[in-house]
């Protein structure tokens, strides 16, 4: 079933999430639904995808890097968490199943459960490789692992892939969607089967949004400016910051290849210059710090764009694309909407005859073909 005409990778994501084994997923879903406390763990864009998906869930959520997390790691925190909660789910997102922080966290909690006999914890993971270190936790009574396809393998011939890593768009976006609809179903008191119905409905909406966006004059204008010399800064607050970070990580591979950079808005981003680009993300379009970023960039002659959830002050002061949705759905849809940016930039540069590094072109072909 095709949900998107312009971008084939969106259809692949749809196929992958709908192919998740429903019997495995039911146990995964029930563990999260029955937990009093969730501890999400991931790295890079996998972490962003997980955090976006779980944002606004009607449960206690603690991350290991929170200032109030009761320990330096999960093993140290586990006995304290046991006293506070009846059921705790460690929710892991790692395409390879070998990512350093998630792998270490899983190993620590497995050790704690086996040494203490605790029955208060579950380990619930999404991976692309079920035979990985994290994937093998499925063999434990307290472990459930969902296999989600979509992680590309590193070609041996592309040394730059080993240096820079592959931008696993298909896996990351699929895992975000899976967690987004899991959250919505739990919040609404529905069963695991509702997640698959929700994913099918959502991907039809996402497909239409992307078809509209990638054929819009606004995107054409943005890509034209992105291929020029200049930095791009992407920003938002709360869940929007996770959307921005996902996009920055992907876009910076291409911008670096042409001698520029992509940054996350904030204190570590450079001061704006004429010709730079700001992309702001905000559901309300009325968040003061985001509006101030736009005012500052415009004052220096930079270009300002935004993704918003409704007509607003931000939409009026920038070149804006409006994603009409509730706050719960907005951030997931914004992440999907921004996902074609690096693809379209690579396509434009390639047509110009600009020689891009092998690892960028291999990534581009892996997503588009």
Q: Which domains does the chain have, with CATH numbers?
A: 8-207 (3.40.50.10490), 211-368 (3.40.50.10490)
Among 216, 234, 224, 231, which Cα is nearest to 306's?
Answer: 234
**The predicted structure's pLDDT at residue 241:** 96
Among 89, 156, 92, which Cα is nearest to 126's?
Answer: 92
**Calpha distance 232→18 (Å, rounded):** 35
* Measured torsion, CA atoms of residues 139, 104, 150, 364, in degrees rounded to the nearest 10: -160
Per residue in 93-146, pLDDT tens?
999 999 999 999 999 999 999 999 999 999 999 999 999 999 999 999 999 999
Distances (CA, A) of 131 to 105, 159, 308: 18, 25, 40
Confidence of residue 162 (pLDDT cuts 50, 70, 90): very low
Distances (CA, A) of 107 to 16, 69, 112, 158: 28, 19, 9, 31
What percentage of the chain has pLDDT greater than the value 70? 95
Per residue in 334-355, pLDDT tens?
999 999 999 899 889 888 888 8
**Calpha distance 91→260 (Å, rounded):** 36
Per residue in 272-295, pLDDT tens?
999 999 999 999 999 999 999 999
**The predicted structure's pLDDT at residue 225:** 94
**Token pair belonging to 265:** 């808005």
Confidence of residue 168 (pLDDT cuts 50, 70, 90): low
**150-168: burial string, b at 16+ Cβ within 10 Å, e else:** bbbeeeeebebbeebebbb
Q: What is the DSSP letter of 88?
A: E
Lowest mean pLDDT among 50-64, 165-179, 280-294: 165-179
pLDDT at 361 over 80: no
Give the count of beta carbons closer than 10 Å to the beta carbon of residue 271. Answer: 8
User: Considering the chain, what is the average pLDDT of its residues?
Assistant: 92
């Amino acid at each position: 079933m095709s949900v998107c005409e312009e971008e084939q990778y969106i259809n692949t994501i749809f196929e992958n999430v709908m192919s998740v084994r429903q019997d495995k997923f039911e146990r995964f879903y029930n563990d999260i639904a029955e937990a009093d406390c969730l501890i999400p763990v991931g790295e890079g864009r996998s972490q962003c995808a997980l955090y976006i998906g779980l944002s606004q869930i009607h449960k206690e959520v603690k991350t290991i890097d929170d200032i109030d997390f009761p320990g330096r790691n999960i093993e140290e925190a586990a006995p304290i968490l046991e006293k506070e909660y009846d059921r705790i789910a460690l929710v892991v997102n790692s395409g390879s199943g070998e990512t350093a922080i998630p792998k270490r966290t899983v190993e620590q909690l497995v050790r704690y459960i086996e040494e203490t006999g605790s029955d208060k914890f579950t380990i619930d993971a999404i991976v692309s490789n079920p035979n990985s270190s994290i994937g093998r936790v499925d063999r434990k009574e307290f472990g459930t692992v969902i296999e989600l396809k979509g992680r590309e393998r590193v070609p041996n011939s592309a040394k730059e892939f080993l240096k820079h890593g592959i931008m696993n768009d298909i896996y990351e976006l699929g895992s975000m969607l899976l967690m987004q609809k899991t959250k919505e179903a739990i919040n609404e008191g529905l069963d695991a089967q509702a997640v698959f119905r929700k994913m099918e409905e959502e991907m039809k909406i996402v497909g239409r949004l992307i078809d509209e966006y990638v054929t819009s004059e606004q995107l054409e204008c943005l890509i034209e400016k992105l291929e020029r010399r200049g930095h791009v800064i992407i920003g938002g607050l709360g869940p929007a910051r996770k959307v921005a970070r996902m996009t920055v990580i992907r876009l910076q591979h291409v911008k670096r290849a042409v001698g520029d950079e992509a940054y996350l808005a904030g204190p570590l981003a450079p001061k704006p210059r004429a010709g730079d680009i700001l992309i702001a993300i905000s559901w309300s379009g009325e968040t003061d710090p985001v509006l101030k970023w736009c005012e500052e960039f415009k004052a220096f002659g930079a270009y300002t764009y935004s993704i918003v959830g409704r007509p607003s002050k931000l939409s009026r002061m920038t070149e804006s694309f409006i994603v009409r949705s509730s706050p719960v759905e907005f951030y997931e849809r914004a992440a999907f909407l921004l996902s074609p940016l690096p693809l379209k930039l690579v396509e434009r540069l390639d047509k110009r005859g600009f020689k891009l590094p092998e690892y960028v072109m291999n990534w581009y072909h892996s997503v588009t073909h």
